[in-house]
Amino acid sequence: MHILITGGAGFIGGHLAEAFADDGHDITVLDNMDPFYDLGIKEHTIEVIGETATANDATFSFVEGDIRDAELVAELVEDADAIYHQAAKAGVRPSVEQPMLYHEVNATGTMNLLEAARATTIDRIIVASSSSVYGGRGELLPFSELDPTLPISPYGVSKLATERYAMAYANVYGLPIVGTRYFTVYGPRMRPNMAISNFVSRCFNDKSPVVFGDGEQTRDFTYIDDIVEANRTLLDRHDADGCVLNLGSGDRIDILTLAETVRDEVNPDLSIEFAERYEADAEHTQADISLAAELIGYQPTHTIREGVASFIDWYRDARDWYEPLVLAS
């Protein structure tokens, strides 16, 4: 099968491309190489995908381009059997400064993809969304797909627009689409500006982890391997077509405990530092994953503490190439 992965040089998209290449599928990656963080991480990811494809007699092509380029998107979609739409402008905090850019990339870019897809006989379209669509209100925990979507940042609004357009196209045009609401995904090659990578990097360099706010805010952190397996399942199963699914760990941890857990594992002598919290950050997140379990048999295998320990082990092994890129971002 020929799979198009938008944003495929990024963290989640890169892991999906690597996994599908390992399964022997032909892969095309579209990525605009946005320098949101050091591009050395994306360049490393592209190398890994290429090596994996070669080892499994699969083809791999990388296209540097933008999801906002409707003509390019249509050309790539026409040649694909399945699409994993991971491309997006990421980050809650920067979206506050550039709301129009986030709308153009995340909403209009998705429309380009959907318009191209409805002119083809595509087999699968998986569209990535985010737990940010819920808005992070603690009284609703855990978040169910039936709960109100009340995003509190331009990023969250743009991701909600992404998934609602996708579901409208599934309903009106019969496209085989599933939306996936990711809950703070982490793991090897993750973005350096995320809490876990930041905590680990600072602790390895004898610097105290910095917690924004009082640390009582909680997050459902999801290990990348669980996200990959869910997406692998969605390639062949149509049980969730026309639905949006929560993909999280189903658990949560407060940020202070997370920082202490990393600190105790890497450098127990460090203290915890605190800084002013950003208003656009959600207070709490936690996924109700019962619908994904029912429709696709989703069952995450990594607790947050197990996943953090695995990431620390990976970081230690990859420190020579990964850490300079983290520190440069």
CATH label of the domain that carries residue 132: 3.40.50.720
Q: Which segments in the chain show pLDDT lower than 50?
A: none
CA separation for the pair 32, 29 (Å, rounded)? 10
CA separation for the pair 130, 128 (Å, rounded)? 7
* Residues facing residue 246 across a β-bridge: 181
pTM of the model: 0.96
Q: What per-residue string of b and e applies to 165-198 under the rule 16 or more CB within 10 Å gives b?
A: bbbebbeeeebbbbbbbbbbbbbbbbbbebbbbb
Residue 97 belongs to what H/E stretch?
Answer: helix 92-97
- Tokens 């153009």 appear where? 104
For residue 315, indicate whether it is catalytic.
no
User: For residue 210, is it within any domain?
Assistant: no
User: For residue 137, is it within any domain?
Assistant: yes
Q: How far is residue 14 from each of residues 41, 94, 224, measured CA to CA in Å?
A: 10, 22, 11
Q: Six-digit token pair at 149?
A: 């979507």
- Eight-class DSSP state of 106: I
Residues in the chain: 329
> What is the structure's pLDDT at 249?
96
The neighbour count for residue 24, using CB atoms within 10 Å, is 11
User: For residue 199, is it within any domain?
Assistant: no
β-strand pairing of 253-254 with 218-219? antiparallel
User: For residue 315, is it within any domain?
Assistant: no
3-class DSSP string for 119-156: CCCCCEEEEEEEHHHHCCCHHHCCECCCCCCCCCCHHH
| Beta carbons of 185 and 11 less than 8 angstroms apart | yes
> Could you say which of 37, 102, 134, 155 is catalytic?
155
Helix (H, G, I), strand (E, B) or coil at 2: strand
Alpha helices in 129-249 (DSSP H): 154-173, 195-204, 224-236
- The C-alpha angle with vertex 188 and arms to 258 and 263, in degrees rounded to 5, equals 25
Q: How far is residue 197 from each of residues 160, 202, 211, 311, 325, measured CA to CA in Å?
A: 26, 8, 13, 9, 11
Q: Six-digit token pair at 281?
A: 């950050």
Name the nearest CA neighbour of 149 among 125, 181, 114.
Answer: 181
Q: Six-digit token pair at 64?
A: 């540097």
Per the structure, how many domains does the chain have? 1
- Eight-class DSSP state of 287: B
User: For residue 35, is it within any domain?
Assistant: yes
CA separation for the pair 43, 154 (Å, rounded)? 29
> What is the structure's pLDDT at 282?
78
> What is the structure's pLDDT at 278?
74
User: For residue 51, is it within any domain?
Assistant: yes
The neighbour count for residue 17, using CB atoms within 10 Å, is 33
User: For residue 21, is it within any domain?
Assistant: yes
User: For residue 18, is it within any domain?
Assistant: yes
* Domain housing 18: 2-185+224-248+286-301
